Chain A
């Protein structure tokens, strides 16, 4: 399967009369996009704003981040099973407005997420301080039930991203990345001496605002599933969750899954990348045992020599992560785990809720409770009071001078457990 991702570099963004890209400038027809979003009658109104890297803008509470992309030469566009009918993805040419992002915001229900600062201290901790962001804030119809509200916000973001990228369908890409690999059997024949590596991607699947979607199917309802890496790179997996801003996988990060990218880069050279297994993190013991057992079985069936396992979230899923690790290690399959830690604000507490001696190779994505002081913003897109309901924020987080004291927990992508960010912990 061969997927080409064509990058059109975006260096600025503004509102204008026509949605187009010219010399790196993305112009957006605000009214046209707003009308498109309001076609969903769950949505009463929508506010669109722009946030550029370096501007003193704070975006809060962020729900998801999506990369604008368009399929070249295809009548069917969008995210299969979600914003379009089920269709094949992972091959052909997809153009990307590279450097731009759609950011959806707004309170839904219960615990919220997350902060993106485009400047200062906060900018260091999120990858989305470097993207030119189109911020989408929808107002739901009165009395809209939380599940519908969540769906409306999610679809609005995905649709906006497709709308923006449409104008780039026939543009020439400045850089083309090729993701190509033969099927599993062919690869093993072709690279008999290269170690076979499987990537297990755990997805939080624990209820409203705690789910992922694969081809539109809620991850709560899936059994561990093998997919081709190109499928995830091309829109098959999207985010529906707002657990903890620091380590939830945004749709943008699924589209640019860093473990997939880094394994692909060495495929055929130092390793044989077998594929991706998506595994749900469930709330019952029975569900956990089932997910972990089946995941380990898939790894064994494929003859994996090594498995990289990434987690999403913390707390009870730590158990799943370590059970998978133990099952694989006991069969002689080498694991590397990527997870973040909950070591307390002083960094002294044990990092995970569970432990197992077999976990000898772990990459730490950082301590979610690490305290940061964010500089005062000039512009707030969204609702600053939401910080009280964000994991990692609290009642007095906002200081009188506009600074925010909070934990990394509250910042989008800060401790990314797919290793998207370059944060870690060191022993002191």
Chain B
């Protein structure tokens, strides 16, 4: 007879039956009993598992004292050592959803145990923990509780048993957004021919690879007087100081570098080289300015055609680098440039 699995369950002050908005600032409390939805949930898993503790925390407290709350929750998890963590369901309650999301993500990453929660698809908490937790899709109010708990219970049971989940629509959860590779009966070419015939006949078909949609940014206004402008130079071509002091990777970069080029006339091959693994490096190493034109920008500064070249130069490697990381770099670099009052940027890619 295998061991029964242990669940630690998180609810907010309302579902924890402490109070409403008036109690939203309560600090986290742990009860070795089942409160609110945890009670109903416990009944649903009674054949193989138990809720060993319920954490109740005020939505405002969590959102305003995140670090403290997480510290408290960490010690609770360490004490009870659960096999799985369950939070909510938060339906469409924004602050509650954010709390479930942040805590869920944190617990998953720190303790490497499965996390299950429930939310209405528009709850802002969804994007916070989508990749880390399994978020079952609920209706938008607590009236959906009766339907939500059995779905959560079923998924929790599967996860603790190491069973693979089926598709989001079959199991009732919000797609995490991952593409899982599987072996199927029909070979790809057959699926392609079938898909073509379905399209031509006007029948329904389902694409196996929905195209990502990239958002658009409004074009930033043009520089009014370039002769007074501060121009920053950025590159994804991997031109770094010869010792690569920040160990920027040759591919799939996880970081960017920032280097002071205020005293330089250009990127000298004595001081700089390329570490980008995706192109023939010979030409860039002969003259790094071929990838990032610092020499000319400095010339323009001398000639009075631009105000000045920004003292910092930014670099990373563009090949194989995950979009998520690129976005992160852009956000950080942009913030620094904005704070420094940079007027415009030239970004070169290889």
Contacts and interface: CB of A to CB of B under 8 A. Distances in A.
- Chains A and B directly touch (beta carbon < 8 Å): yes
Interface of A: 124, 195, 197, 258-259, 261-263, 266, 270-271, 305-306, 308, 310, 334, 336, 338-339, 341, 343-344, 346-352, 355-357, 359-367, 370, 408, 416-428
B212 A362 contact: no
A365 B182 CA distance: 10
A262 B195 CA distance: 12
A348 B189 contact: no
Interface string B166-200: 01100000011111111111111111110111011
A347 B179 contact: yes
Given A428-B165, A428-B168, A351 B193 contact: no
Interface residues of B, number: 40
B296 interface: no
Interface of B: 131, 165, 167-168, 175-193, 195-197, 199-200, 205, 207-214, 322-324
A258 B211 CA distance: 25
Given A343-B178, A343-B179, A420-B188, A363 B195 contact: yes
Contacts of B131: 346, 348
Given A124-B183, A266-B193, A366-B181, A339 B209 contact: yes
A423 B196 contact: no
A357 B188 contact: no
B197 A271 contact: yes
Contacts of A357: 211, 213
B212 A351 contact: yes
B168 A361 contact: no
A357 B184 CA distance: 27
B138 to A, nearest CB: 19
Contacts of B180: 347, 367, 425-428
Residue of A341, A343, A359 with most chain B CB atoms under a 10 A cut-off: A343
B184 A423 contact: yes
A422 B199 contact: no
Nearest to A366: B181
A349 B182 contact: no
A336 B196 CA distance: 6
B179 A197 contact: no
Residue of B182, B186, B213 with most chain A CB atoms under a 10 A cut-off: B182
Contacts of B184: 422-424
Residue of A261, A306, A370, A422 with most chain B CB atoms under a 10 A cut-off: A422
B196 A348 contact: no
A416 B188 contact: yes
Nearest to A342: B320
Contact of B212 (A197, A355, A408): A355
B199 A427 contact: no
